[in-house]
Chain A
């Protein structure tokens, strides 16, 4: 300080220099010696940092038999659904916070019936069962006994009709059901009837919507429907029908408490936990560390090499399968190829790319062995879709990783010539690349898959590089066709799959051209036979009939290759740590599917506190 005042009269520049100079002169060498240490520390620290203030259960070392003490012991800690501060709990809005979002646990809002991805069945929810009449021309659902909202009012068929009717006028996430749905009506106060349109006739999306739509209370939402502000509601005090109530939330956590007046006590029982807490993390690694230490009980995160937690570190961690691939496949991340880009519009080029991609390596590294190498099919080879899977077709007409075959296609069939830069040029002078492959930043498994695709393509002489923009950017690029190559998935396993997946990827009806927003067919694919086959598949009444049509679609897909399957991914990741709660379903104890959404809610009622 003294030094500085001495030089106050000098030019400001000079005095600043003097004080800085003297204060650093002495500590310069010390700075040099610690800078190395600091750097090493930074690398290690970063991995552990970012745990932030998110609240989790305390790690109770050595107390495995008792689990956590106190209130934390009565709480189920989950992770992997919420990645930013919650802004709204509006189940019909565009981006609701956990657990109000579609495809999340039915803790606050419930659906009529619940999909089970293991056997494809629809389990009871608010309704007892989904009755199919006249080969799918209509569906009826009878409500369970005594269904009630958390504010004490009765949940009736009127609420169900209201929930579906509002999607007719307002644009909500399930509005597209009205393309296939004729009417929804209450035949009596506790029974709802869904009439399916005859043209186009397709009961699958209707079934899908009945199983996937949260029913909302008419007495609360009616005024917003008339005011046309449904999607704008923040709904911070959600009134639902589920077993839990929203207790509190902030930027670090969402806390739910058990509703002891839950209508379903007599049907489903009472959950053992008094509250469910979702701490909000910044990245996968934070949640992974806490799952390993038992501060998170169940998680929906991609956790690389999860088996090390029980094999090497002997933690009571588990997944659905004890052995590889640990999870059940439920979705297919795909290399989506823009059909309007010159060079990529050639199916033979796309075939060469399909052969070039090192899918075994993607499965073993990018997917951490959680996937078999992807097959040349849009149908999942396992689970309930496997009954449609065409093993012979995939073997005879499909592709597998084979660099030489890729080069052969380029040189023999396309007559492409390799330039001095090692990249092929088609006879018309089109250079194969540079093409950019995009996927959202931070999605580590997909990022790595993209890296492998780019390197695989480079290795055979196709110029591909990667770029990882923010997720919302990628979404809008996909929807507007403003991409060359992208890693993106289509719909996962559902009551309507694989029909929904074929439609997402191959149907050009209603899909906007490049530059306009579309919600499916991002690659802008066109094939004359596809629309009819899709309609036929939707209208088919037996699985055998569907199987034939699906396999025809799959054969067209294998000839045209608008997308290349990169790997299989679970519908949701499902892993648990049994140091506080036990009895999670596994393949050996399959009383519930390895899901969070749909029928996955079943296990929440069955898991028990350790030692009880």
Chain B
């Protein structure tokens, strides 16, 4: 892995992501205030005791922010894992197997893609008898997989024709083992990026749902905080501390994850590299990465795979718009 040069962008992105993770996971341990405890009145301004003031129920905004960040991250990670797993399995099987199974799976995926997933998410969350953060993550996860499946399938199709697959077949490897050991590793870089995007998308979808009043009941999330801030006219009364912190936090999470994804893109795909890292390569005269490194596969496979990388990024951005606009 020495060949991989992490760009400064990557380190900045990683730092931001780690910061939000730390805030969400360690924050609740540091901030001792119970997010449900009444510590003041309706929209008390920030003070020495309450750094971010109180919300419409007289609860600490700071405590709600760290607990809300945690809920949002948990929902995001869980939904991202579910969506990526479903998409990966369907895409791998369809792309590698081909034939009628491919047609069937992709037909299903295309149908799923055609239905606006925010509508499905809203209907599902209304229909469910209870809305915990886990059910919410499940709902977001099972509606977010189609574009991952499509992209993974495209990549798997190109890997299928490689010689080493034939070698594996000749040596008697089973179907499952070929998928897991000979196909999947070539897609891992892409899957990691897709996962990051899924997480960011899921967090924004959760916020969108919560702002519609369909958030997790019984727990606080960033979207729930925004929902109450809007419902209680915090903008009219000038209680900026009620809506700014969750807005900034959501922006930070989404921004850092997207930044991480795009810098990972540069790490995995040298063609996209800019700045010093790219210039140095030119000076040294390295034209293309050497054969054998599994990571920069998309480059080696030429024209075709370039399109596929493009598509992956494109569709993922599409998912984002969904979350962001909600």
Contacts and interface: CB of A to CB of B under 8 A. Distances in A.
B121 to A, nearest CB: 17
A454 B317 contact: no
Interface string B194-223: 000000000010000001010001100000
A515 interface: no
A444 B235 contact: no
A455 interface: yes
Interface residues of A, number: 56
A308 B233 contact: no
B248 interface: yes
Contacts of A42: 324-325
A366 B38 CA distance: 12
A418 B255 CA distance: 45
Contacts of B191: none
Contact of B233 (A21, A47, A466): A47
A447 B231 contact: yes
B262 to A, nearest CB: 6
A22 B310 CA distance: 7
Interface in A23-57: 23-25, 28-29, 31-32, 35-36, 38-40, 42-44, 46-48
A129 interface: no
Interface in B213-268: 213, 217-218, 226, 228, 230-238, 243, 246-248, 250-251, 254-255, 258-259, 262
Contact of B307 (A21, A36, A38, A441): A21
Contacts of B204: 39
Contact of A365 (B41, B314, B315, B325): B41
A361 B250 contact: no
A358 B258 contact: no
Nearest to A367: B42
A448 B57 contact: yes
Contacts of B236: 47, 285, 288-289, 292
B38 A35 contact: no
A17 B247 contact: no
Contacts of B70: none
A444 B217 contact: no
Interface of B is mostly: helix
Residue of A292, A304, A358, A466 with most chain B CB atoms under a 10 A cut-off: A304
Contact of B258 (A14, A32, A43, A465): A32
A18 B309 CA distance: 10
A339 to B, nearest CB: 23
Contacts of A20: 310-311, 314-315
A572 B315 CA distance: 51
A444 B231 contact: yes
A29 B233 contact: no
B295 interface: no
B36 interface: yes
Contacts of A21: 307, 310-311, 313-314
A36 B314 contact: no
Interface string A263-300: 00000000000000000000011001100100000000
A24 B313 CA distance: 8
Contacts of B325: 38, 42
Contacts of B217: 465-467
Nearest to A20: B314
B310 A46 contact: no
A173 B225 CA distance: 40
A452 interface: yes
Interface string A447-462: 1100110110011000
Contacts of A24: 310, 313-314, 317
B313 A28 contact: yes
A288 B233 contact: yes
A258 B310 CA distance: 66
B67 interface: no
Contacts of B317: 24, 28, 31
A221 interface: no
B167 to A, nearest CB: 29
A312 B233 contact: no
A442 B315 CA distance: 35
Nearest to B234: A47
B42 A365 contact: yes
Nearest to A35: B324
A467 B307 CA distance: 47
A23 B232 CA distance: 41
B56 interface: yes
Residue of B42, B238, B317 with most chain A CB atoms under a 10 A cut-off: B42
Give the size category of B's interface with A: 35 or more
A467 B215 CA distance: 11
Contacts of A46: 211, 230
Residue of B238, B259, B314 with most chain A CB atoms under a 10 A cut-off: B314
Contacts of B96: none
A320 B228 CA distance: 27
A452 B57 contact: yes
A169 B186 CA distance: 79
Contact of A36 (B154, B230, B254): B254
B221 to A, nearest CB: 14
Given A25-B314, A39-B247, A39-B254, A364 B307 contact: no
A183 interface: no
Contacts of B246: 43
Contacts of B56: 304, 365-366, 448
B27 interface: no
Given A21-B314, A25-B313, A451 B324 contact: no
A47 B58 contact: no
A587 interface: no
B218 to A, nearest CB: 5
Nearest to A463: B218
A596 B109 CA distance: 57
Given A44-B235, A308-B237, A447-B231, A32 B311 contact: no
B57 A304 contact: no
A368 interface: yes
A504 interface: no
A172 to B, nearest CB: 34
Given A31-B317, A36-B254, A284-B233, A305 B42 contact: yes
B310 A361 contact: no
B232 A444 contact: yes
B251 A40 contact: yes
Nearest to B231: A444
A284 B230 CA distance: 10
A452 B255 CA distance: 34
A304 B57 CA distance: 12
Interface in B116-164: 130, 154
List 7 tightest A-B contacts by C-beta distance, closest first. A21-B310, A47-B235, A24-B314, A17-B311, A43-B247, A365-B42, A36-B251
Given A24-B310, A40-B251, A288-B236, 15 more contacts: A17-B154, A20-B310, A25-B313, A35-B320, A35-B324, A38-B324, A39-B324, A43-B226, A44-B243, A44-B247, A46-B211, A46-B230, A284-B233, A365-B38, A465-B217
15 contacts: A21-B307, A22-B310, A24-B313, A28-B317, A32-B259, A38-B324, A39-B204, A42-B324, A43-B230, A48-B235, A285-B231, A292-B236, A308-B237, A448-B57, A465-B217
Interface of B: 36, 38, 41-43, 56-58, 130, 154, 204, 211, 213, 217-218, 226, 228, 230-238, 243, 246-248, 250-251, 254-255, 258-259, 262, 307-308, 310-311, 313-315, 317, 320, 324-325
Interface of A: 14, 17-18, 20-25, 28-29, 31-32, 35-36, 38-40, 42-44, 46-48, 284-285, 288-289, 292, 303-305, 308, 312, 358, 361, 364-366, 368-369, 441-442, 444, 447-448, 451-452, 454-455, 458-459, 465-468
